Amino acid sequence: MALLCISASSAETSDVDTSDWLNITINNIDFQIPPEYEGGRNESDFYLKDTVFDFGLVTLETDKSLKNNYGYESTNDELYDVEEMEIDGHHAVAFYSHRSICNHDVTYLYFESNKTFYALSYDGNEVNDTMKKIVSYSPKSAFSKEKFDEKLNKMQDDYVEEQREYEEAYAYEEGYRNGYSQGSLSHRNNHDDYFAYYLFYRLGKRSR
């Protein structure tokens, strides 16, 4: 799990010629993107050109989608830098990683617009003026910087806790399998009772 210091910077947009940019709509918000990303798949909640490691813009409007996306990217072992910034009235944080699956650098830029979070991902190792301009097309942040940070920190904590629970459940499952193969657990009912106890144990801890 990556643990990196976050640096902060100001990232106001500069003049970028958008006369040949394309219009796309995501989550009822109109964005514009450069022509090199034309031909991607545009659904109601995302735009994708090739893969998320090439170019993608997705809305993360539920806690579950934000937790799974941000939680994974913010703890990815391939991360090498993190940077907070303000982009034309939007709070944002960028994660820079070198992804072995595609063998190139990938930037994940998270920003909030009108209380909804978005993830802009692309092949690259910086948040350049073009990417800032894409962000600037959405309504400005409705959260304070404190609320923005609080929300993302909670989503990361929830993701980390969920992964820990998965690992713990997997360890229990492996323990059961090893015991079963050695004849210490003999039938299905033992297995059911075992996991019923496990779930009761977890829920009990949550209720305290």
pLDDT one-digit tens code per residue, 34-45: 999 999 999 999
| pLDDT at residue 186 in the model | 45
Element (H, E) at 42: strand 41-42
pLDDT one-digit tens code per residue, 75-100: 999 999 999 999 999 999 999 999 99
| pLDDT at residue 168 in the model | 72
Is the model more confident about 187 or about 101?
A: 101
pLDDT one-digit tens code per residue, 154-191: 999 999 999 888 777 666 566 656 665 555 544 444 44
| pLDDT at residue 170 in the model | 67
SS3 75: coil
| pLDDT at residue 164 in the model | 87
pLDDT band at 23 (very low <50, low <70, confident <90, very high): very high
In this prediction, residues 24-49 reach a mean pLDDT of: 96
pLDDT of residue 132 exceeding 90:
yes
Burial of 107 (0-12, 13-18, 19+ CB in 10 A): buried
In this prediction, residues 115-142 reach a mean pLDDT of: 96
DSSP per residue over 78-106, as a string? TEEEEEEEEETTEEEEEEEEEETTTTEEE
| pLDDT at residue 167 in the model | 76
| pLDDT at residue 12 in the model | 52
Q: How far apart are CA 24 and CA 63, in angstroms?
A: 24
| Whole-number percent of the chain with pLDDT over 90 | 70
Lowest mean per-residue pLDDT among 6-10, 118-122, 169-173? 6-10
pLDDT of residue 147 exceeding 80:
yes
